[in-house]
Amino acid sequence: MRQEPLPPTLAIALPVLGAASILLTWQFLLPWLGVPAYIVPTPTAILGVFQKSLSLLLGNLWPTLIEALAGFAIGNLAGVLLAVLFVHNRVLQAAYFPIVLFFNTIPILALSPIIMLIFGLGMTPKIVIAAVICFFPTLVNMIRGLDSASSNEHELFRVLSATRWEVFWSLRLPRALPMLFSSLRIASATAVIGAIVGEWIGSDKGLGALIIQASFNYQSDRLYAAIVLSSGLSIVLFCLVVLIERRAIRY
Amino acid sequence: MTIKLHADLTPNAIEAQRLDVGYGGRHSAVKVLSGLDLTVAAGSFLSILGPSGCGKSTLLRVVADLLDPLGGTISVLGDTPHAVRSRRDVGFVFQDSTLLPWRTVRDNVRLPLGVGQGSLTRQIEDRSEELLELMGLGGFGERLPHQLSGGQRQRVAIARALLGQPKLLLMDEPFGALDEITRDRLNDELLALWRRTGTTILFVTHSIAEAAYLGERVIVLAANPGRLVKDLDMRPFKQDGNRCSREDGTIVAAMADLRKALELAS
């Protein structure tokens, strides 16, 4: 039998209580067990970093934010445009889609040094890495989405003598939106990962650089604060995508 | 009976001679229809019965210019299927309503105004309000398709097909997925609509009762390959204006006749 859904107040209160219980355990159990602060700092110590070094954290958040956003926009746009080209030209799709799939099998960590070699040390390689990581899921999902209209729907448009352009705008594109948004949701997290991976490999700015420096210097409270901030960035991007999705898809 | 008088003056809605239709090219082994001869008078209501794979839907698709025949000739409203489609003289209703889920009911009915205008040689008016009213969907214009019942969705699909005032309405098992009460009600509404508009209707169905109740004429197709095995004029069994009661003895006798043909065809 299916369980009854929780009442709304409980549905909100329970996850909050769950998180609070873990934070409290973390705060009091670890010191009691004798785990040193340079290995795992307490939540209050991490919060302290936000008070003490807010400008340092925000100064490093900014470049990561720009790289992730730019990579998100460029990678997804490229994925969408190539998908549109592929569904309208099956010869191109047959010739190049397998190659695109092959590139997708190269781990992003292995690809990153090559991207660094080509684009140097500035923000550009980080944006490129974030874009590449967003590109593939969006391309694959968008191709499937654009092809997801039923044969009856295509026949309906043909009975009405619709042009290819009209079929695209009035049928294929709206049909593809749910799949596009599901890949955008994934991309909202992976774009941040891409930017941080790029900063790891070669940068003195950004959350990725801060994470590397803090871990080398055993500043684990700062390391954890940087991690909290990067996950916060992903969450904000994710929520933005969901907000736009709710406006775009009403059914 | 104005419809019949009118029909006698106009060319046949459909004239098909030795029509061959198949999939996979001219020399394909898969022939769906073979050597079909069929003439349908303008303004008439033709029901098409047959087992799965007999080419009922395929026939509609050839008439609608969705599929090219391999051989034989077909003329629709005295013209080629392509010309008729370009003039928007043909409306199509599918088994699933094929409503676009992101458009409101009104915008679904208006779809023919938004697409294919480039090739259109005549003006189509926005009669969406009138049609929604006619189909009993007066207050539903702003709803989304998922907020409607199956019967209501099919009504919207019919309203959309009627927007261009087609001379020929092709219906591919439009009520096949509905419950029996809703189906009977929509059958009566469709007959009323047909009497009012004089549109020629080709109606594909699996149901013998539905075919007999709706059609002025019922044809039965057999499968492998699809061919005509029975052509029954229903008018002797009915009153003026294609009217009859579902329980009428003569209709029941005609249905038994159709059932026998269908059993032989299956």
Name chain B contacts of A157, Cβ cutoff 8 Å: 115-116
Q: How far apart are CA A234 and CA A69, in angstroms?
A: 10
pLDDT greater than 50 at residue B253: yes
Specify whether B177 is located in the same domain as B115: no
Q: How far apart are CA B78 and CA B84, in angstroms?
A: 9
The range of the structural domain enclosing residue B136 comes to 101-165
Q: How far apart are CA B66 and CA B91, in angstroms?
A: 12
Interface of A with B in 210-249 (CB under 8 A): 249
Among B151, B154, B158, which Cα is nearest to B128's? B158
Specify whether A226 is located in the same domain as A139: yes
Q: How far apart are CA B28 and CA B164, in angstroms?
A: 36
Domain annotation covers residue B96: no
Beta strands in B87-238 (DSSP E): 90-93, 168-172, 200-204, 217-222, 227-233
Report the SS3 class of residue B243: strand
Cβ–Cβ below 8 Å for B66 and A158: yes
pLDDT, position A238 = 96
Q: Tokens for B207? A: 């149901």
Specify whether B188 is located in the same domain as B142: no
- Helix residue ranges per DSSP H, B11-125: 56-63, 81-86, 105-109, 111-114
Cβ–Cβ below 8 Å for A170 and B115: yes
Please name the helix (run of DSSP H) or strand (run of DSSP E) that holds residue B16, with its range, or none.
Answer: strand B14-22
| DSSP secondary structure letter of residue A162 | -
Name chain A contacts of B95, Cβ cutoff 8 Å: 152
In this prediction, what percent of chain A has a pLDDT beyond 70?
100
Residue type, B219: I
pLDDT, position B8 = 47
Cβ–Cβ below 8 Å for B145 and A152: no
Specify whether B141 is located in the same domain as B172: no
Specify whether B11 is located in the same domain as B54: yes
Specify whether A112 is located in the same domain as A204: yes
Residue B6: pLDDT band (50, 70, 90) is very low
For helices A8-33 and A43-52, give the axis angle rounded to 10 degrees: 90
Nearest-by-Cβ selection for A159 from B66, B95, B145: B66
A159 interface with B at CB cutoff 8 Å: yes
Domain annotation covers residue B258: yes
Specify whether B118 is located in the same domain as B247: no
Specify whether B66 is located in the same domain as B132: no
pLDDT greater than 80 at residue A158: yes
Domain annotation covers residue B142: yes
Specify whether A135 is located in the same domain as A24: no
Q: Closest approach of chain A CAs to the CA of B119, in angstroms? A: 7
Cβ–Cβ below 8 Å for A159 and B94: no
Cβ–Cβ below 8 Å for A159 and B90: yes
Specify whether B65 is located in the same domain as B190: yes
Specify whether A25 is located in the same domain as A110: no
B114 interface with A at CB cutoff 8 Å: yes
Domain annotation covers residue B94: no
Cβ–Cβ below 8 Å for A161 and B101: no
Q: How far apart are CA A25 and CA A19, in angstroms?
A: 10
| Total structural domains within chain A | 2
Specify whether B32 is located in the same domain as B43: yes
Specify whether A112 is located in the same domain as A194: yes
B110 interface with A at CB cutoff 8 Å: no
Boundary residue ending a domain (B143, B165, B187) = B165
Cβ–Cβ below 8 Å for A170 and B145: no
Report the SS3 class of residue B212: helix
- Residue A14 neighbours by CB under 8 Å, 6+ apart: A6
Nearest-by-Cβ selection for B115 from A160, A177, A250: A160
B66 interface with A at CB cutoff 8 Å: yes
Cβ–Cβ below 8 Å for A161 and B91: no
Name chain A contacts of B112, Cβ cutoff 8 Å: 160
Specify whether B19 is located in the same domain as B39: yes
Nearest-by-Cβ selection for B101 from A152, A161, A251: A251
Nearest-by-Cβ selection for B102 from A159, A166, A251: A251
A166 interface with B at CB cutoff 8 Å: yes
B144 interface with A at CB cutoff 8 Å: yes
pLDDT greater than 70 at residue A217: yes
- What is the CATH number for A146? 1.10.3720.10
Give the model confidence (pLDDT) of B172-227 as tens digits: 999 998 899 989 999 999 999 999 998 999 999 999 999 999 999 999 999 888 88
Boundary residue ending a domain (B136, B165, B194) = B165
Residue B26: pLDDT band (50, 70, 90) is low
Residue type, A146: L
Residues A42-81: b if buried by 16+ CB within 10 A, e if exposed: beebbeebeeebeeebeebbebbbebbbbbbbbbbebbbe
| Total structural domains within chain B | 2
Question: B120 to chain A: nearest residue by CA?
Answer: A161
Give the model confidence (pLDDT) of B73-128 as tens digits: 999 999 999 999 988 899 999 999 999 999 999 999 999 998 887 766 677 788 89
- What is the CATH number for B203? 3.40.50.300
Interface of B with A in 235-254 (CB under 8 A): none
Q: How far apart are CA B163 and CA B90, in angstroms?
A: 11
pLDDT, position A48 = 94
Give the model confidence (pLDDT) of A97-128 as tens digits: 999 989 889 998 899 889 999 998 889 999 99
ipTM of the complex: 0.89
Global confidence as pTM: 0.86
Specify whether A215 is located in the same domain as A137: yes
Report the SS3 class of residue A36: coil
pLDDT greater than 90 at residue A152: yes
Specify whether B105 is located in the same domain as B41: no
Among B11, B28, B30, B46, which Cα is nearest to B242's? B46
Cβ–Cβ below 8 Å for B115 and A152: no
Specify whether B111 is located in the same domain as B234: no
Boundary residue ending a domain (B165, B181, B201) = B165
Specify whether B175 is located in the same domain as B44: yes
Domain annotation covers residue B23: yes
Specify whether A88 is located in the same domain as A190: yes
Name chain B contacts of A160, Cβ cutoff 8 Å: 88, 111-112, 115-116
A158 interface with B at CB cutoff 8 Å: yes
Specify whether A52 is located in the same domain as A87: yes
A2 interface with B at CB cutoff 8 Å: no
The range of the structural domain enclosing residue A58 comes to 42-248
